[in-house]
Structure 1
Amino acid sequence: MTKLRGRRATAIVAIATSVALAATACATDAGAEGDDRISVAMMQPPKASMNPFSDDAFKLSRWSVGETLVQLNDELGIDPMLATDWEQVDDLTWTFELREDVVFHDGTAMDAEAVVNTLDRAAAYSPPPRVLNGITIDAEATGEYEVTITTDSLDALLPNRLASPQLSILAASAYLDDGSVTPVGTATGPFVLTDFSSTEATLDRFDDYWGEPAAIAGIDAYFVPDGTARAGSLRAGEVDLAESIPVSQVELLDPAMVNEVLQPRTTFLTLNSASGPFTDPAVRAAARDAIDTDSIVEGVYEGYADPAVGLMGPAIPWAAELRGDVESGIEPAAIEGTPITLATYTDRAELPEIAVRLEQQLEDAGFDVTQDVREYVNIEADLLAGSFDAAIVSRNSLLDMGDPLSFMAQDFTCDGGFNISQLCDPAVDALVDTALGLPIGEERQEATMAVEAAIMQLDVVVPLVHDRVVQGEANTYVDILRDPIERRLITVETHPA
């Protein structure tokens, strides 16, 4: 029987750069409740009307609106949040003890029944939250403030799943009769989402928060998918904080505004292995051989990235040492005018620039390339449906569960929830299934890198660069988080400089 408490939980990996804080002012200022409101330029608009079962959940987490039973700490171990204690009873069963003083934003109390309602709704949702792919959970209230969760198979990382913002606990009023889910006035965090549209969101301090109250009165968030516009709004003093500044704009900012965050994020080219010309491994090999990653690092990122060798970059410190043979050995086909569609999205400003360079490199190799570039919200469904021959994608390998193996299970297995390459390879699936059953530690790390090698040898993905993301800050506020796994940004401690 395994008992886990707070920071005693073992970390999955120690990432190279832990969560950093903006330069901190006098500590006594942070505890005071003020009337100030921070303005933030967010990179992407809501994808699914702020449905917490979608990737929109990460916005709610970064704004400190949604909260989960447990949370990842700076070392990627598990800390308490809405649950204070938890125990693994047997291979399939866990119990969680809940806080008894939590009030939802709609004024109702959080208890075991409310938690079970959220987990049941998540498990039954179609499509389910990505973090639940590959597992079935059953939740039961076994006390007023105790929840027992049973899984259909051994899952060493159930607490990591429950730490995903996609499983934020919401009040019963969040789940509407038409099947939609709204976090407006229904979550538990120190800020309450009061209104949002496709262009902005308004959040106010929640005065009945169970923890320390927020130091600021609220957040005014603006969705600005154009990276140049985000940087411009920061330079003009229109916002206090801007996500993901394009490298082309960095030199235009005051150096004091530039904060480089080393993230476990890789930009890669996926090749559709289920339909079109890239079903042929030799054609995939020809595309692989055509690509020059060094020119992308220097020409597009101006040095703010590292050439990618595999799917795991330098932010995961054990990856390079444990990396296996990632070379496919497949003989490239001779390409003579093979037409392909190359897709990407504009939300990350570098991706369309990469598309231009890849088009040239692929055409030099004999392909006839047609680009399809849109905002992410307008292209995600087609990406997941396999509508393109190739796609340039940027992924944080620790975003979903703080576990790079889980990222590969999502992106490169038959039942993966984010499988843009459409890969369905029994050998890869078998490796993933075996690895997922391993406990946290060196053996799991070795198995993770074996999975990476197996995927790479199929040439369904060509890693391009490991990103270093620039977060822009006007230095009007301090205690803003610079989070490598992109779950936290504004907290109760964020306050004016």
Structure 2
Amino acid sequence: MKKIYGIFVILTLAVCILAAGCVGTGGSTSGEKVLVVGEMWRVSSINPGDGHDGGTFVTEKAIVTETLVGANAQFELTPNLAENWKQINDTCWEFKLREGVKFHNGDEMTASDVKMSLDNTVRLSPSTAKLMSYDHADVVDKSTIRIYTTDLNPLVPGVLHYPDTAIVSSRSYDANGNFVNPIGTGPMKVESFNEQTGELVVVKNTDWWGGDPGFDKMIMRGYENPSTRAMMIENGDVDFTTDPPYSDIERLDALPDIHVEKYNTPRIYKLDVNLAHETMADLNIRKAISHAIDRTGIVDNVLYGVGAPAGGVFLPSMTWSNKSLVPYSYDPALAKQYLANAGWMDTNGDGYVDKNGKNLHIKIYTYTERPGLPPMQEAIAANLRAVGIEVEEVSMENSAMNAAMADGSWDLYLSAMNLAMVPDPEYVLKSWYTTTGTGNKPGYSNADVDRLIVEGHYISDLDERYDHFREIEGIVYDELPTINIAYYGVAIVMKDTVTGYKFDPTAHDYRIDPFMTITA
């Protein structure tokens, strides 16, 4: 462990105590390869079906559980625990399971386990049930299950890529149906979980159907402060972490025993616009804001190249994205013209545009856990001030955000949102842009968009389906209920003793690669 002097020693010890013991990195000790991971969120759940954070964590990061359906780098669906699937009729899908897959307790995975798993997921997570239009599932035979929906739903295979639908053994629940421990099929299995500290320890599943994992044990702890994550890996307390402050990336990468790898992920930095405010409801204002933002400058100078300027909602690499949508140009003069079109001009020479004796004042909220958000907020605020808009910046921990914004006084909300938990365009567009969408924070309502999304839901042919949703993506690009800033990039920071890591571009934040290894 590297020595750090003065106050940094005290801070490090304090962090380690809070993290349950300050156990350093394992490396290859007594022949056991131990990987210590500094996760970006506190581990609050290890139940994949709870509809919260458990599914993403145990499926993608702890790699304890697996889903029926996978996805490739283009976000096309691929076999996983299910070898193939087909639609029997409008409301029935049949899935053939991979044979010979065993749970961590040695039991063979069967269709009965899959039915139990899905039944419990939809019981615990009504949003997942709604997304799948789940009615019930029937076991056809040991390796075949049929899933029945309440209506025609082409999304079903895509939803079964969603981490919350990961499959666990029926023995993961007690006799009363209460969840105890995730007994999955993945490359690692749970050894212990401390609910007080959030520390999870998993060990190699030597009978994994996918091959032989490259390490024996993984210890995962959550450090929500980006600076803490940087300090922990620099001090040698973790072997693998993500998203330190982006301003630290070059310095960390230059250290002799650490390297940094940067990747794009299916996530976007966007500004939700509060359309309940008369000013924000004016398209001229939204266009002025969009043209005032220097997206390239933000990516280069705020994100330090971790990401890319955003045009449409979806990454260009996504097979269904509307690739004709380019980032709004950075054009302060045009932004001022749009402000003038809305009646906002600097009439008194104070540098701020005004109307009816009042300056145009905008309040921007964001949260602090993701390292790109606070400095991006500052850069956007500076861009807007440069065209004459007064800006108030508010940032806080994500857990306090909903309460702080409940009074509706916010104008813009800067966030980093996932785009492919379900690999299909309907999932995002329906949630963000339909009048009753669960993620429609702006309060956007367009009858044509509502109608088109309903119509698109029933299109099964993928070429036709994707063309249909590209049209919708184009409409919201023009109307700007959300202002897209940049596609999210993730910085993976590893000790040089960690080798063979392969990034999964479809993961929520990142996926631990079971075949990477760690040496002394």
State the TM-score bracket (shorter-chain normalisation). Answer: 0.7 to 0.9
Counterpart-to-counterpart distance in 1, 2:361 and 2:323 = 39
For residues 6-405 of structure 1, the aligned pairs below 5 Å read 35-46=32-43, 52=49, 53-62=51-60, 63-105=62-104, 110-129=109-128, 132-133=130-131, 135-174=133-172, 181=179, 184-193=181-190, 194-197=192-195, 199-255=198-254, 257-274=259-276, 278-316=280-318, 319=321, 321-323=323-325, 331-332=341-342, 334=344, 336-337=358-359, 340-363=362-385, 368-379=390-401, 388-398=410-420, 400-405=421-426
Residue 471 (structure 1) shift: 1.4
Counterpart-to-counterpart distance in 2, 1:371 and 1:199 = 32
| Greater relative contact order (CA < 8 Å, ≥ 6 in sequence) | 1
What is the Cα-based RMSD across aligned positions, in Å?
Answer: 3.6
Structure 2 segments unaligned to the other structure (5+ residues): 1-29, 330-334, 345-353
Kept in 2, the 8 Å contact 1:40–1:221? The answer is: yes
Kept in 1, the 8 Å contact 2:266–2:507? The answer is: no
Give secondary structure in 2 for the equivalent of 1:251: helix
Give secondary structure in 2 for the equivalent of 1:150: strand
Counterpart-to-counterpart distance in 2, 1:362 and 1:202 = 47
Counterpart-to-counterpart distance in 2, 1:215 and 1:424 = 50
Kept in 2, the 8 Å contact 1:405–1:432? The answer is: yes
Counterpart-to-counterpart distance in 1, 2:92 and 2:117 = 18
Kept in 2, the 8 Å contact 1:246–1:470? The answer is: no
Give the 3 Å change call, closer, same or farther, for CA 264–43 of structure 1 in structure 2.
same
Give secondary structure in 1 for the equivalent of 2:393: strand
Residue 311 (structure 1) shift: 1.9
Counterpart-to-counterpart distance in 2, 1:413 and 1:373 = 28
Give the 3 Å change call, closer, same or farther, for CA 177–88 of structure 1 in structure 2.
same
Counterpart-to-counterpart distance in 2, 1:317 and 1:161 = 17
Residue 127 (structure 1) shift: 4.3
Give the 3 Å change call, closer, same or farther, for CA 91–410 of structure 1 in structure 2.
same
Give secondary structure in 2 for the equivalent of 1:457: helix
Residue 478 (structure 1) shift: 2.4
Kept in 2, the 8 Å contact 1:43–1:224? The answer is: yes
Give secondary structure in 1 for the equivalent of 2:59: helix
Give secondary structure in 2 for the equivalent of 1:94: strand
Give the 3 Å change call, closer, same or farther, for CA 205–57 of structure 1 in structure 2.
same
Kept in 2, the 8 Å contact 1:285–1:333? The answer is: no
Kept in 2, the 8 Å contact 1:105–1:187? The answer is: yes
Partner of 2:348: none
Residue 349 (structure 1) shift: 0.8
Residue 121 (structure 1) shift: 2.6
Question: What do residues 208-229 of structure 1 show as CA deviations (whole Å, max 9, x unaligned)?
Answer: 5445343322111121222222
Give TM-score, length-normalised by structure 1: 0.80
Code of the residue aligned with 1:392 in structure 2: it is L
Residue 51 (structure 1) shift: 5.3
Code of the residue aligned with 1:269 in structure 2: it is L
Counterpart-to-counterpart distance in 1, 2:226 and 2:144 = 45
Give secondary structure in 2 for the equivalent of 1:128: helix
Residue 38 (structure 1) shift: 0.7
Code of the residue aligned with 1:427 in structure 2: it is D
Code of the residue aligned with 1:475 in structure 2: it is D
For residues 413-432 of structure 1, the aligned pairs below 5 Å read 413-432=434-453
Give secondary structure in 2 for the equivalent of 1:409: helix
Partner of 2:515: 493
Which structure's CA Rg is the greater one?
2
Residue 418 (structure 1) shift: 2.8
Give secondary structure in 1 for the equivalent of 2:251: coil
Give the 3 Å change call, closer, same or farther, for CA 432–384 of structure 1 in structure 2.
farther
Counterpart-to-counterpart distance in 2, 1:426 and 1:134 = 24
Question: What do residues 272-324 of structure 1 show as CA deviations (whole Å, max 9, x unaligned)?
Answer: 23467534545544543543334323331234433223223443477464439
Kept in 2, the 8 Å contact 1:385–1:420? The answer is: no
Question: What do residues 413-452 of structure 1 show as CA deviations (whole Å, max 9, x unaligned)?
Answer: 2343333333333221222223333346443333232111
Partner of 1:23: none
Count of aligned pairs between the two proteins: 462
Partner of 1:30: none
Counterpart-to-counterpart distance in 2, 1:134 and 1:385 = 33
Give the 3 Å change call, closer, same or farther, for CA 78–367 of structure 1 in structure 2.
same
> For structure 1, which segment, 187-196 or 270-279, has the greater mean C-alpha deviation from structure 2 after superposition?
270-279
Code of the residue aligned with 2:121 in structure 1: it is A
Structure 1 segments unaligned to the other structure (5+ residues): 1-32
Kept in 1, the 8 Å contact 2:105–2:183? The answer is: yes
Counterpart-to-counterpart distance in 2, 1:57 and 1:382 = 27
Partner of 1:16: none
Kept in 2, the 8 Å contact 1:268–1:465? The answer is: yes
Give the 3 Å change call, closer, same or farther, for CA 324–347 of structure 1 in structure 2.
closer
